[in-house]
Amino acid sequence: MIYRSKPVVLMAADMRQIDGQTFHAVGHKYVAALAGAAQAVPLAIPALGSDSELEALIALADGILLPGAVSNVHPSHFDEDVLDPSLPLDPARDSTTLRLIDAAVTAGVPLLGICRGFQEINVAFGGSLHQAVHDTEGFADHREVDSTLPEAQYGPQHLVSTVPGGMLAEITGCGEFMVNSLHGQGIARLGSGLVAEAYAPDGLIEAIRISDAKAFALAVQWHPEWDVLNNPPYLSIFRAFGTACRERAASR
């Protein structure tokens, strides 16, 4: 048995082109939130698609984080054509995470999805997405503010209301709180086996859980990793996730 002082959390990487070369990349803010708020060891996994060794990854994982990304989930995964070809896609990440979600839930690995990860979980469970929430009747514009400053882009944008008696309400201890908003897509049809945990003022689903998961399985549309140590509701999510990961590590 290998002793671990902290749980190991796998993070899904994006396939990115940087200076003409291909990289498997993860954002620093997710790494920092896992290390500082969840008290876990972050470990990025490449977007290898069908070449990913799922059994080996699940055996290693005490938890899995599906972070946000600049790319969108390819709409072919919910039987739609691409609405705006100018927006970035990442089929390598799609083919990695959509398989990984199923394997994680089956094995009882704690799972946290953020923004794109939230959308991936919905699609993995048969749900669909609005490809442009801002062009969909009845919904507000949920994209980030037009600024080059991260502090403005990730600043509070709107309230979310948690579902009374739900998992997120229990974790945060809040009926409502302010969140940032940096997404163009959003849930249209909720996936089978998923339960809404929070809503935006316009009725858009902002948080979900997997109803019959054996372990922690929560996803949010906003970015709780941003300035997480100074935002109590955000911090409570990462602490609850970290606790679930430590419980899995201790049980193995």
What pLDDT was estimated at residue 5?
Answer: 82
Residue 74 structure tokens: 């390819």
Q: What is the mean pLDDT of each run of 10 residues along the chain (252 residues)?
A: 80 95 96 98 93 90 97 97 96 96 97 98 98 97 94 97 98 98 98 98 98 97 98 98 97 88
Nearest alpha carbon to residue 163 among 212, 209, 198: 198
In the block, residue with structure tokens 């991260």: 150
Nearest alpha carbon to residue 23 among 31, 14, 32: 14
Nearest alpha carbon to residue 115 among 29, 231, 211: 29
Phi, psi of 19 (to 5 degrees): 55, 40
What pLDDT was estimated at residue 50?
Answer: 81
Catalytic residues: 115, 223, 225
Residue 5 structure tokens: 């002082």
Q: What is the pTM of this model?
A: 0.96
What is the amino acid identity at position 241?
A: F
Contact 10, 101 (CB under 8 A): no
What pLDDT was estimated at residue 2?
Answer: 54
In the block, residue with structure tokens 């390819």: 74
What are the DSSP E strand ranges found in 163-230?
A: 176-179, 186-189, 194-199, 205-210, 217-220
Nearest alpha carbon to residue 223 among 138, 104, 103, 113: 113
Handedness of CA 167, 186, 213, 241 (dihedral sign): negative
What is the spatial distance between Cα 144 and Cα 72, in angstroms, rounded to a whole number? 15
DSSP H or E stretch at residue 8: strand 8-12
Phi, psi of 141 (to 5 degrees): -85, 115
What is the spatial distance between Cα 222 and Cα 231, in angstroms, rounded to a whole number? 13
Handedness of CA 88, 187, 153, 42 (dihedral sign): negative
What is the spatial distance between Cα 252 and Cα 108, in angstroms, rounded to a whole number? 12
